[in-house]
């Protein structure tokens, strides 16, 4: 059963894990106690699950950017946190994202293999990342993202493409940087559009599905598609459907990895 509260949707709960659908424009946690975060909302919903020995009260075994919505897993004890962390480190965990990007992606699918490092320019006053082919890139690390085109159409009257993304690594801002690198910045991504993309109501990036294989069992959690045509705020009108979001699509993007 799913429980909704202030935009947080509980997707799964057992003795080891709590999996929720994080709203967009919400930080996971903060040292500012006055700020509303995913941590404070989970605490309010589940005060009995708080671990006072942890700085941020819960084991967040992976993270989502402030602007990114979707599936995020919280471990409820040290053992489950250890098991989940091992799954991510061994790349036994699979994460799939949905995004709307600017323009029409020509390829049906592609794999981006560009190392990502820190952008040392500090032009925007925040921690930007960049690909290693940029002269201002510092300490780049290997990085790979698979991209599968789902739909092409118009978003607010301009060409856009809905894509399924699967990161093969877990670098900071990886999906946003790789989409920008191929010339199809995620719609609403203010940072990687160089402060140009300020019209949309959100960044169109969503953590859609998480598969977690660990010593404690199997989790496979998926949300609904937040970028469908039922929400008028999306202003999204597909004109060509290449793939449905189904098991065939997940299988196709998995096959892009060696």
- Alpha-carbon distance of 165 to 109, in angstroms, equals 10
- What backbone phi and psi angles, to 5 degrees, belong to 177? -70, -45
Q: Which of 25, 32, 53, 65 is catalytic?
A: 65
Q: Are 72 and 63 in contact (CB under 8 A)?
A: yes
- Alpha-carbon distance of 247 to 258, in angstroms, equals 19
Token code pair at residue 240 = 């060509």
Q: Are 117 and 137 in contact (CB under 8 A)?
A: yes
The H or E element spanning position 80 is: helix 78-89
Q: Are 203 and 194 in contact (CB under 8 A)?
A: no
- Alpha-carbon distance of 200 to 82, in angstroms, equals 38
Q: Is 65 noted as a catalytic residue in this protein?
A: yes
- What backbone phi and psi angles, to 5 degrees, belong to 151? -145, 150
- CA 235 to chain CA centroid, Å, is 21
- Alpha-carbon distance of 179 to 186, in angstroms, equals 7
Compute the radius of gyration of the chain from its Cα atoms: 18
Residues with a known catalytic role: 65
């Amino acid at each position: 059963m799913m429980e909704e509260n202030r935009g947080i949707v509980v997707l799964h709960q057992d003795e080891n894990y709590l999996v929720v659908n994080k709203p967009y424009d919400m930080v996971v946690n903060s040292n500012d106690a006055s700020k509303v975060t995913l941590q404070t909302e989970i605490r309010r919903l589940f005060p009995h699950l708080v671990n006072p020995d942890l700085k941020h009260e819960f084991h967040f075994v992976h993270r989502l950017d402030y602007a990114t919505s979707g599936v995020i897993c919280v471990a409820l004890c040290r053992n489950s946190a250890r098991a989940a962390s091992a799954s991510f480190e061994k790349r036994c965990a699979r994460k799939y994202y949905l995004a709307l990007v600017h323009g029409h992606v020509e390829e049906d699918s592609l794999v981006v293999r560009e190392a990502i490092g820190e952008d040392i320019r500090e032009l925007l006053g925040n921690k930007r990342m960049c690909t290693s082919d940029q002269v201002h890139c510092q300490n780049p690390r290997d990085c790979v993202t698979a991209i599968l085109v789902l739909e092409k159409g118009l978003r607010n009257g301009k060409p856009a493409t809905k894509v399924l993304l699967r990161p093969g690594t877990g670098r900071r801002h990886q999906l946003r940087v790789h989409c920008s690198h191929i010339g199809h910045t995620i719609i609403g991504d203010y940072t990687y559009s160089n402060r140009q993309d300020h019209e949309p109501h959100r960044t169109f990036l969503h953590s859609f599905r998480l598969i977690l294989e660990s010593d404690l069992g199997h989790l496979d959690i998926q949300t609904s598609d937040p970028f469908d045509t039922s929400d008028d705020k999306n202003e999204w009108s597909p004109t060509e459907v290449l793939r449905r979001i189904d098991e065939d699509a997940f299988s196709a993007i998995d096959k892009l990895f060696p």
